[in-house]
Amino acid sequence: MRRTVRLRLGVGAGLLALSLILAGCGGGASGQEGGSGGASGQIGIEGSSTVQPITQAVAEAYAGKNPDVQITVGGAGTGDGFEAFCSGDTRISDASRPIEAEEQQACADKGIEYIEIPIAYDGISVVVNSQNDFASNITSEELKTLWEPAAENKIITWRQVRSEWPDQQISLYGPGTESGTFDFFTDKINGEEGASRTDYQASEDDNVLV
């Protein structure tokens, strides 16, 4: 499954490259010049944990040349990122899905305009524990059987997913509801964004899930 990941920025940010994006936000945030790179101020970035490593790498490279710019990069999830962005708390919103209608309205209510910049394609991986020696493949229909709302507290063993698999309990881990990955996966697999069983260990932090 492939999807586009994006940045959303307040109007006035640079457009030519990610480094120019940060330069535009840095100057706009403080309205001051200074430091070896000629920019100063603070830039708040929040959103998708999928996009966070890309943004963090760019932020560190930019800050290395502009030590007077303070950049914070969070990975609380796409939904939380849009909430902070549309509240005016951040200048850049990392996202792994398009902005939704209610989020657009929240930005409009605050007078926040923005531009969208697609920056990468990423893939969603479905993985099993390395000690699992039988589930080497799984179909989209079987994933739906496992993850749809009707599966909650009912589909709890591997044999219920595929008859030739053993009658062993399944422990499930997945993205939380604020994650763009959650929105994308539930839409593509379960046929409705947000439709999912809830009896699994959830986190917006990919490292926690791993």
CA triplet 202, 83, 119: central angle to 5 degrees? Answer: 80
Q: Over 90: is that where the pLDDT of 87 sits?
A: yes
* Cα–Cα dist 80/74, whole Å: 10
Count Cα neighbours of 98 within 13 Å in the Cβ-side half-sphere: 6
Predicted pLDDT of residue 204? 82
Residue 3: band (very low, low, confident or very high) from pLDDT cuts 50, 70, 90: low
Predicted pLDDT of residue 125? 86
As a whole number, mean pLDDT of residues 138-159 equals 97
In this predicted model, which residue has the larger pLDDT, 54 or 30? 54
Predicted pLDDT of residue 2? 60
Q: What percent of the chain has pLDDT over 70?
A: 82
- Please report the domains of the chain, with CATH numbers, ordered by start residue: 2-123 (3.40.190.10), 140-209 (3.40.190.10)
Q: What is the pTM of this model?
A: 0.64
Q: What is the dihedral of CA 133, 137, 139, 140, to 10 degrees?
A: 90
Contacts of 18 (CB under 8 A, 6+ apart): 7, 58, 119
For 82, the enclosing helix (H) or strand (E) is helix 78-86
Q: Which two tokens stand for residue 96?
A: 């792994």
CB atoms inside a 10 Å sphere around CB 178: 20
Amino acid letter, residue 114: Y
* Cα–Cα dist 13/24, whole Å: 4
Q: Which two tokens stand for residue 119?
A: 């920056």
**Tens digit of each residue's pLDDT (9 = 90 or more) over 100-124:** 999 999 999 999 999 888 888 878 8
**Tens digit of each residue's pLDDT (9 = 90 or more) over 17-32:** 344 445 445 444 433 3
Q: Over 80: is that where the pLDDT of 139 sits?
A: yes
* Cα–Cα dist 68/29, whole Å: 12
